[in-house]
Structure 1
Amino acid sequence: MVAFKALLLDIEGTITSISFVKDELFPYAFDNVDKYIEEHYDEPALQIVLEDLRQLAREQSQHDASVVRVREPKQNCIDDVAKNVRHWIKRDKKLTPMKALQGLIWEEAYKRGKVEGHLYPDVLPVLKKLHDENLPIYIYSSGSVHAQKLLFGYSIEGDITNILSGYFDTRIGLKGSSESYTAISQKINIAPNEILFLTDVPAEAEAAKTAGLQTFLVSRPGNANLSDENRVDFKVIESLDEILQ
């Protein structure tokens, strides 16, 4: 078994399928953004996110002609925010306020039973074994912490949040930046070389490696192909079982 004191996991393409995120979650948010804002407009949690989206639109519109500044009153706000969010979803932007709104939309979908979080069959047995051995398991995803908790709280395996020790999103830093992994190491108070990070994205693996983490690449059906160089630079696994061997 690989020697490590904490496991840090990417989500999409690592422990859940890319198709679940791309073909189910993203389209649901894309199709329901204006409907959700209309129905929940006056709720404090949404108003906080809308204010962040107004500020983001002001910034983004300076260098992206497809982004519109958010107008008032209510209906203009809904139309403008929906237009911007759909634009960002199409381009797979990793923008924190947009991710926050997606999280709110997905929360409603999960609670109404319209979606369930996908997990590969090999994931839960390995996580349970590590949890039973008191080894902490952390999640690091570009999706908001809120959205992460929903996926694991309403997964096809049921609520598995009790076996996870913590969550990180882009508020700690971008996943392609080595500083983000240093910050996570400091936050969980475990040395970088004692953390094992699993991801399907070579650029993230390289950033984590630069920060001193042990890093494996994960190859799953539907993931982008890994190059020969990737396979030389990193150990590549096809199932989480392999970290126990």
Structure 2
Amino acid sequence: MTEWVVLDIEGTLSATDQVLVTLYDYARPRLGPWIDAHGDDPAVAEAVAQVRELSGVDGGTDELVRVLHGWMDADQKVTPLKTLQGLIWQRGYAEGDLVAEFFPDVVPALRRWHAEGTKLAVFSSGSVAGQVAFFAHTTDGDLTSLFEFHFDTVNAGPKREAGSYLKIASVLGSSDITFYSDVPAELHAAAEAGWQTVGVARPGEPYGDADFGPHRTVDAL
């Protein structure tokens, strides 16, 4: 048993298509209206400023949206995009437009770990707001009570850099941590930081046939 289990979401707990198709398609037409309607929200204002800084775009909402859509098309994990998507998804979950679904083995595993005393956290490129909304509105009900921490690229850092995992470990106050992910590069970074690692190779997912190298590999939790 490990003290902490930290989990990736996309491709590990939930099908990649749920993010790249369902959630992206939901956010795409709402980005422009959201920016226009919530310009006074500090989180939105900061995200817009970051989009301008990163892209060099100096125009109006339409130009910003073109940049955001380009990042989405390339599946780039860009912080301001994740912030805006997370806010939109949060509203979508709250209004019942969206419901999170997991692979069949996931919720039983989460509940088993929690019952055994293993503490759970999430590290995903999606924003913390989006993560919390995701786990609060699932086909299995509200699962937020199972998790003690949520980490994203804002409060932890890039998922393929060891420093991000060192930062998370300092927050968790532990070195006894096991990370589950479907992305080998993320597992390499976690291992470099001294974590235990488990590769999740799910059939049909983008990394289902990846080379997980030295990492213990499973096809279900």
Confirm or deny a common fold (TM above 0.5). Answer: yes
Q: 2:180 aligns with which of 198, 202, 212?
A: 198
Contact 2:183 2:199 in 1 (8 A): yes
Post-superposition offset of 1:44: 4.4
Tell me which moved more, 44-53 or 176-185. Answer: 44-53
Letter in 1 for 2:216: K
Q: Provide the C-alpha distance between the structure 2 equivalents of 1:204 and 1:54, rounded to a whole number of angstroms.
A: 28
Runs of 5+ unmatched residues, structure 2 = none
Q: What is the aligned length?
A: 219
**Residue number in structure 2 paired with 1:233:** 214
Contact 1:19 1:222 in 2 (8 A): no
Over the matched positions of the two proteins, sequence identity in percent amounts to 34
Q: Provide the C-alpha distance between the structure 1 equivalents of 2:203 and 2:32, rounded to a whole number of angstroms.
A: 33
Contact 2:92 2:98 in 1 (8 A): yes
**Residue number in structure 1 paired with 2:58:** 70
Q: 2:83 aligns with which of 93, 100, 106?
A: 100
Cα deviation code 1:37-88 (max 9, x no counterpart): 2333444443333233333333xxxxxxxxxx133xxxx2x11211110011
Runs of 5+ unmatched residues, structure 1 = 59-68, 241-245
**Residue number in structure 2 paired with 1:55:** 53
Cα 1:181–1:43 shift into 2, 3 Å:
closer
Post-superposition offset of 1:132: 2.1
Q: Which contiguous aligned blocks of 4+ residues in structure 1 show a shift greater than 6 angstroms?
A: none
Letter in 1 for 2:153: T
Q: Provide the C-alpha distance between the structure 1 equivalents of 2:40 and 2:151, rounded to a whole number of angstroms.
A: 28
Cα deviation code 1:115-153 (max 9, x no counterpart): 111212211122112222332101001111111111101
Contact 2:187 2:197 in 1 (8 A): yes
Cα 1:57–1:238 shift into 2, 3 Å:
same
Across the aligned residues of Structure 1 and Structure 2, the Cα RMSD in angstroms comes to: 1.7
Q: 2:29 aligns with which of 28, 31, 44?
A: 31
Equivalence map 1:143-222=2 (5 Å): 143-171=126-154, 172-191=156-175, 194-222=176-204
